[in-house]
Amino acid sequence: MNFNEYLDEDMLSIQLAHRLAGALNTALETQDRAFLVVPGGTTPGPVFDILCATRLDWSRVDVALSDERWRPEEHIRSNTKLLRERLFVERAAKATHVPLYRRAETPEEVIDDLAAGIEARLPIDVLLLGMGTDMHTASLFPGGDRIEEALSRDAPVLVPMRAEGEPEPRVTMSARVLNDAMSKHLVIMGDAKRGALDRARSMTPLQAPVAAVLDDIEVHWAP
């Protein structure tokens, strides 16, 4: 893991967005298409605000979330809502969205179809992850009902996940799919998350799932 420290959120957002765009451009030099995977939650919005305006051939970029909350797209907790409002605008409006959600009562009803859409684009070229103070990343939660499966070497591409305290089911990319990414980044803000990441480094992935993705990753932090 390589730790990149920035003066503040603005500096982090500008520099990280340009770094992600550079990695996508590099992939597009040798490939027809590039696959970008990004987190939901509250942290990545300011990065998306810059990334969406960067110059690259967005018509050749596929974008998926690392994980989704099982809510319709217009719901306030939908990670897809964040993507639509903050990433798929300006130049990035030309990107192709690869969904992790489809209207259905439970993820299990449609997960095979959703996974096929992701599998067709693997490996991930550029991965940005977030992390909660409970040391979850994507929807790999400590104590999640299928966490062992999602962390296993032969995990499926997508795993449904339910965790105590989370108001809805989730769908998450498995750790093996995340770890196969060509360029891996983790964005965290604030002292609480920095402390959590430090603690996670000496814990097992079952206790601190973010520990499962820290090899060869660039961490981006601002106070």
Ligand X SMILES: O=C1O[C@H](COP(=O)(O)O)[C@@H](O)[C@H](O)[C@H]1O
Residues that bind ligand X (CB under 6 A): 39-43, 66-67, 79, 130-132, 138-139
User: How would you classify the pairing of strands 183-189 and 218-222?
Assistant: parallel
Q: Give the residue carrying structure tokens 């798929």.
A: 88
How far is residue 22's CA from residue 18's CA, in Å, rounded to a whole number?
A: 6
User: Could you tell me which residues are beta bridge partners of residue 158?
Assistant: 173
Short-list 206, 156, 190, CA closest to 176: 156
User: How would you classify the pairing of strands 218-222 and 126-129?
Assistant: unpaired
The smaller minimum CB distance to ligand X, of residues 23 and 64, is found at: 64
Two tokens, residue 84: 């639509």
How far is residue 205's CA from residue 203's CA, in Å, rounded to a whole number?
A: 7
The smaller minimum CB distance to ligand X, of residues 65 and 95, is found at: 65
Question: Residue 26, Cα to own-chain centre: how many angstroms?
Answer: 20
Two tokens, residue 183: 């360029």
Q: 48 with 154: CB under 8 angstroms? A: no
Q: 99 with 117: CB under 8 angstroms? A: yes
Short-list 68, 141, 137, 145, CA closest to 102: 68
φ, ψ of residue 197 to 5 degrees: the values are -65, -40
